Amino acid sequence: MPDVSEITLRPLETHDDFEACIRLQRDTWGPDFADVVPATILMVSQRVGGVAAGAFDVNRRLLGFVFGISGVRDGRRAHWSNMLAVRPEARQAGLGRRLKLYQRDRLLELGVEIAYWSFDPLVAKNASFNVNGLGAVPVEYVVNMYGDTDSPLHRGLETDRLVVEWRLTDPKVEAILSEGRPALPSQAEDAPIVVPDGPTGSTPGVRSPELVDNPWVRLAVPPDIATMKATCPDDAQRWQRVTRRAFEHYFSCGYRVAGFALASDGERAWYVLSSDGEEG
């Protein structure tokens, strides 16, 4: 792992920076990834309030980057954070979080107070990072958002995504960034769990495979969807179908994501949804 004190975060500035970012995109999403952001967009986006920044070691090697574009949504300035990637050997250095905080600082300097991005709702680690680590709130479920990207990371499932809203100056977000996420309310601990039915798709402690109407609901996801896609693709597809149906149902009924939980045994993970107005 690189020395954290020797990592520099700064905008991508030179042609070498942009080319290094393109290489990292291909290293992360695969050599045939259809949605690589080219050097010209990485460069010009920064002229109109976008963020294209990297984490560099002492040898000026790019260890990670964050990229997004700014625009207007619902009449106010907003940012779409399109990509975040960190090299495997640097992921224990907390670079993903540092890059997001760097992005937040730059956006606040530009007068942007809200950011959006998407992530695969079945990837438990990403859900925990976004919801618990950053205080981002899932606000929309989009079916097959990106279509076929030719990325090995996306192969085996449609690219369903949760869109999150990150309210950069919200006191709840500021508290999570400085103090960590508070414990979930006690009502969430005994809430029914929605999970695919069947022996290979089951999860210990489930209460119902149906979309139960309860003020608090736990929506289970696999702790390791990548392994499941590789070893049990039918199970992975069943999880996606149930998760898709559940999110669409509960969001349409006014539920909000109040948190995300990873069990201490590492074998269970779930979103906590609430219908009483509480949210992440």
Higher pLDDT: 199 or 191? It is 191
What value does the mean pLDDT take over residues 23-52?
96
Mean pLDDT of the chain: 91
How are beta strands 161-167 and 114-119 bridged, if at all?
A: antiparallel
What value does the mean pLDDT take over residues 21-34?
96
> How many other C-beta atoms lie within 10 A of the C-beta of residue 166?
22
Percent of the chain having pLDDT more than 70?
92
- Minimum mean pLDDT range among 89-98, 162-171, 187-196: 187-196
Report CA Rg, the chain. Answer: 19
* pLDDT tens figures, 230-240: 999 999 999 99
Largest CA-CA distance found in the chain, in angstroms, rounded: 55
Q: Is 72 left (phi over 0), alpha (psi -120 to 50) or beta?
A: beta
Higher pLDDT: 8 or 278? It is 8
> Which pLDDT value is given to residue 213?
83
> Which pLDDT value is given to residue 265?
78
> Which pLDDT value is given to residue 1?
63
> Which pLDDT value is given to residue 19?
98
Q: Which CATH number does the domain 4-179 belong to among 1.10.3720.10, 3.40.630.30, 3.40.50.300, 2.40.50.110? A: 3.40.630.30
- Residue 16's contacts (CB-CB under 8 Å, 6 or more residues apart) are none
> Which pLDDT value is given to residue 277?
61
> Which pLDDT value is given to residue 174?
97
Closest CA to 164 of 92, 114, 235, 226: 114
The pLDDT of residue 131 is above 60: yes
Q: What confidence category does residue 210 fall into, taking pLDDT thresholds of 50, 70 and 90?
A: low
CA distances from 108 to 11, 51, 79, 98, 102 (A): 15, 12, 11, 15, 10
Buried b (16+ CB within 10 A) or exposed e, 107-126: beeeebbbbbbbbbbbbbeb
Annotated domain spans of the chain: 4-179, 186-274
Mean pLDDT highest for which of 39-43, 92-96, 150-154, 218-222?
A: 39-43
CA distance 247 to 241: 10
Closest CA to 215 of 241, 185, 181: 185
The pLDDT of residue 26 is above 80: yes
CB 13 within 8 A of CB 43: no
CA distance 128 to 106: 24
CA distance 257 to 255: 7
Closest CA to 179 of 137, 130, 135: 135
What the block records as the tokens of 4 is: 């954290």
CA distance 251 to 169: 24
The pLDDT of residue 39 is above 50: yes
* Cα end-to-end span (Å), the chain: 32
CA distance 75 to 221: 35
The pLDDT of residue 279 is above 70: no
Higher pLDDT: 138 or 188? It is 138
* pLDDT tens figures, 194-203: 887 644 444 4
Q: Where are the alpha helices (DSSP H) in 155-224?
A: 171-179
> Which pLDDT value is given to residue 185?
84
